[in-house]
Structure 1
Amino acid sequence: MRPLAQRLQPTIRVRLTLVYGGLFLVGGIVMLTLTYLLAKNNIQPDRPAGVTAVQIERTAAPGEANPATPAPGKVYTSRQAVYTANQTKGMLLKAREDSAQQTLDSLLTQGGIALAVVGAAALGLGWFFADRALRPVHRITETARRVAHSRNLTERIAYTGPRDDVKELADTFDMMLERLARAFEGQRRFVDNASHELRTPLAINRTLIDVAVRRPGAGEDVRRLGESLLIVGDRHERLIEGLLTLAGSENSVVDTSPLDLADVGAHVLDQAKAETDGRGLTVRRALDRAPTEGDPVLVERLVQNLVENATRYNVDGGGVWLSTRRSARLAEVVVANTGPVVPAYEVETLFEPFRRLRSDRLRSDRGTGLGLSIVRAIATAHGGTVTAVPREGGGLVVTVRLPSAG
């Protein structure tokens, strides 16, 4: 699960939308500011410093010294007339200033509303065009997801757009798929050829040694030598079988069928009954339904390796526990055993090929060191996981989780 800080980060589509909308809003604010300043300079009246004298024409009435209003027929200068004229002109100027301010305020208000509406529309258009711009990338992502889930390396993006960065990315991805397909095909052919070329000579050697040992005139030394060679040959066969299985199981599983881990576990325990009884091991099973899908041969090999590992690395008279269950969307198989104490820091190294506990590295009769490596490879090929923890008192508890069916 991703950290919270990563999950809260906006996607590239959201970032592109914010960039488009932000650039438009900044441009709109700049345009609105320039329009406001230009309008203010053009419609704002200049206030005069004052009026010094006004000539007013009128016919003066008898005895009137300071007429309040001008009249035609008489030209004279009066302080009252100057005051009245200045007051009238000030009122006109104030009216013009109020009208200009109202115009500027209206420009700001209506322009801001229009900018907000168009800005919201710009965000919507940015969201739409960001999706159009990222559509080729989505196509690449969908193709990669289908290849990862279907394991079909023959599928290609085949992008036919203009030669730009997106087409270069798509062509590079197609080239990578082509190389992966060739690599997997080469590995599959190698495993098939090696399986035939390695098993056939070992089978012939086993037959020849068995014939030589069973001859009527074979001496005791020949029989002992033959038995030793058969033991060595058997170990080589198991080693080669493990390597071939490991190489084959690392590829993705293509052909799957429904199966139940409980049935597989019961079948494996029945096959291992002779070996567990021979060592006096107590086997306990708790097999609940655990439906999954996979390659039946590989899944059986997975459970078989777990049981063989629990039996081989055990103490005489010890115990082996095998349980299966269904948990949420997972089918689980758990195998535990008694045995030597496993240090916690060495648990992870047991899943590496040819790695065993220090006390078992010099003993060839304990196996090839590939059992848990094969288990992890098979589980990974089926989309599952493997975990192991030391068991209290000695031994190991290995848990395999596979995707549940249904």
Structure 2
Amino acid sequence: MKFTNRVSLRMRITLLAGAILLLCSLILTMTASYNARTQFINIELANPQQAKEPYRAIEESRLPTVGIAPNTTLSPAVTQAKDNFDTTIIIILVIVSVLGMGLVYIVAGRSLDPIHELSKAISTITEHELKKRIPHVGRKDEVGVLAHSFNIMLDRLEKSFLKQKRFSANVAHELKTPLAIIHAGTQVLHMEKNPSKSEYEETLAITEKNVKRLMAVVDDLMNLYDEKEGFETTSICLKDMFETICSELHPHFEEKQIVTELHCELHNVKGYEALLYRAFFNLIENAAKYNKIGGKIHIKAMEINGVGQISISDTGNGIYSDELLQIFEPFYRVNKSRSRKTGGVGLGLSIVKTIIEKHGWKITVDSTFGQGSVFTISGIEGQINSKRSSII
């Protein structure tokens, strides 16, 4: 196995094809030799007067001849012709095998040329040139399929690198802003010769506020990229959880005169209550933040084809269709200025998606700009209860 790993693919193909060619040639040679001997003996038997003296008995021949009497003898001329035939056919066997292996080596080299070109093209692509693609125009063979697969992989890598760059830039931006404010406050105190108590208190208040903001960002990042898969699940009453969340967000609803309707058919679900509470809280809070004055929020928990589904819809501004695939990315904000005013940093929906997927569920969003959005969580296994609706 180690030897074959050191041999090139071209040579391995040549050796394999040569072995098959040699085996087939040996079979043909042995068959031809056996048939020739039989024919020589038949000719000898058909002309017995030509046999001057016994030369060689048939039982001394290398291969047995079926249907020939054991006391049959061959003339020297026939024996010499048979030997010449055997020698000639062996020489032809060697020549054909050598020429065949040579042709296989040449053809294999030409067949592998596109793979070598593909390898060279791939080796020139670095992390700084992920926009380059491997040309495979007009190729419908395996090499073309392989090049197409590599291009698909490069597309994914490019998107992944772009996401990482955006993520790094957004993290730096979110951390830089509060740090700059803290730094500015301390610089002001240093510039003052005799700062007053009120100036100290104001600087401390600003520092504390921004430190809390930094801690919140760090906590969210830790929750977002927590690799811990397993967690303890309990039976959670959805109706009670949604009523508690709506009660906590009631001041926001009153401020914007939002009406919340709860329609719960699912009595309970299995999950980690603290994580699910945060996920649903973020979704309902967003539905309130980005809703219009006098709008509505509709929370549904129902069974569809034996599987539980939760949907949270609002009558807000909605989201453009080209942004729907990006809203779950860390630090992505549909409206950056509006998110700044509401205190968001763009991690809420990313955390929601992570929590939902850790439970083995799936979250999707459907939105029409100017009409509102619907976030749907599906794949839930829960206990069905009688239909219960309420206005909160």
Give TM class, smaller chain: 0.3 to 0.5
Question: If the length of structure 1 is used for normalisation, what is the TM-score?
Answer: 0.43
Question: Which is strand-richer, 1 or 2?
Answer: 2
Larger Rg: 1
Q: Structure 2-normalised TM-score?
A: 0.45
